[in-house]
Amino acid sequence: MSFLLPKPGGEFLTLGIMGGTFDPIHIGHLVTAEEARQQFALDYVVFIPAGAPPHKDAQKISSAEHRYMMTMLAVVDNPYFTVSRLEIERQKPSYTIDTVRSFFQIYKEQLKLYFITGADAILDIITWKNYETLLDSCFFIAASRPGYAFSKLKVVLGPAFPRVIQKVHLLEIPAMAISSTFIRRRVAEGKTIKYLTPEAVEQYIYKNRLYVNEKQSINRF
């Protein structure tokens, strides 16, 4: 799985996993992960850049290696953060259920797992592959902007709401107002992205000339 965590056979592990395209990773992702780590007493947060996201056109996102390197640069100074190549090395559309199963294959009953995602994504959870098995396997931390109406879940999820709400924790994160789309747009327009993403990621973007030719497709997702 290409990341450093205690080996199976050690103590019980409470783990947060944060999947995403990370194109690029930004301060909102990092603040969310750190707040989740503290509020839910997570031993580690594992960032998992998507390899072939099933819901996005692979030709319209940066290469997996660029996204992996940016994520590595962003988390290297936090001893509680690490990055996994799990989905990148899968080399086929990867679903959340596949990733969760991979973790349990290693840690089995020694693992308590939290999946960190955006509150908006939770609205679509009943469309996720094997979502009922997911609810049995892990908890969800739904990061939102301040003022987000969590009651919206009840309307959207309908009959599935009672079961989902038992496994979902809402986490308000002011920095969630930042988005990868916003950063790509600013790069394409020649505007600064300083303080929106770690300095090492900012310099990586400039060095590799990422997002500079995206004015025609900046709103693709």
Q: What is the pLDDT of residue 151?
A: 76
The predicted structure's pLDDT at residue 94: 79
Torsion angle of alpha carbons 191, 194, 197, 198, nearest 10°? Answer: 140
pTM: 0.89
Omega of the bond prior to 24 within 30 degrees of 0, cis? yes
**Is residue 18 scored above 90 in pLDDT?**
yes
**Between 60 and 46, where is the model more confident?**
46
Residue 64 and residue 49 in contact, taking contact as beta carbons nearer than 8 Å: yes
8 close to 85: Cβ distance less than 8 angstroms = no
Return the higher-pLDDT residue of 119 and 81: 81
Buried b (16+ CB within 10 A) or exposed e, 97-123: bebbebbeeebeeebbbbbbbbbebbb
List, edge to edge, every strand of the sheet that includes 13-20. Answer: 81-83, 44-49, 13-20, 111-118, 139-144, 168-172
Most confident of the following: 34-38, 95-99, 163-167, 217-221: 34-38
Share of the chain above pLDDT 90, in %: 62
CATH top-level class of 13-177: alpha beta
Assess whether pLDDT exceeds 80 at residue 91: no
pLDDT tens per residue across span 56-76: 655 679 999 999 999 999 999
* pLDDT at residue 92 is higher than 70: yes
